[in-house]
Structure formats: structure tokens, C-alpha cells
Amino acid sequence: MAGIPASVLAQLGQSVSIAPYAGVSSSGVEIYGAAVTVTGIVEESDNTSRSVAPTDDAEAIATIRCPLATNCPPGSRITLASGLTGVATSVKRWDGGDSPAPSHLEIAMSGLHIAE
């Protein structure tokens, strides 16, 4: 089947900026490709787990469903329309093939924080 229907993206979609992870340079600096903006369905969830120590960071998770052709390897930097940023921790290709399920890329994102 084709990808996520345009009508669904128009109603539920949000702009998502993705800077694809390209590896590490010889000097140890992480390298990212140019950020691209795609429209995806974003599902934010608050899985906050904070211990008593004030230095521990809370972590939330978001799942993004976007077109199958999106370039987003694990480690890519992601910025949501809400201003939250994070890193792609896992990326799954859902190819619906001949089934009625829409083909899409499912990105799990963690380490959310408000962009400065």
C-alpha cells in the first residue's frame, strides 16, 4: 500500500526537523547531515522517571510516524514543532506491501528537552 494518506497527514501531521546522523569524524565529533523538515504524526508520551537526586534528568519519549523515504538513522537529531528536541533511538521501516496498512517509518525518540 502507499504511505500515510495525505488527508491524514494534513489533519494530524506536524512539522518535524531531522538532521540525519552521519557518524563520527576522525577527531571524535559527531557528524550530522543537513536538517530536513518532514510532516509526520507525532505521539508524545511522558514516561518521566525522576529519582530523589536533583541532578537526575527526566526523560520523555515520542514516537514519530513519517514517510518511508525519510532519511533518519538511529542517532539523528530531531526537533518537533512543539520545540522539543531529542535523538532517534530506534527506527523501524513498516512496509505495508499489498496489505491495507500504510507504509511508513516509525522513529522512537528520547532525551526530550525544550530547545534554547
Q: Where are the domains of the chain?
A: 6-48+57-114
Residues listed for the chain: 116
Q: For the segment 1-54, what is each residue's pLDDT rounded down to a tens digit?
A: 577 767 766 677 899 999 999 999 999 999 999 999 999 989 887 655 554 444
Q: Which three cell numbers stand for residue 52?
A: 530523589
Architecture category of domain 6-48+57-114 in CATH: Beta Barrel (2.40)
Beta strands in 26-72 (DSSP E): 30-32, 36-45, 61-66
- Would you say the C-alpha torsion 71, 77, 81, 84 has a positive or negative sign? positive
Give the predicted TM-score (pTM) of the model.
Answer: 0.77
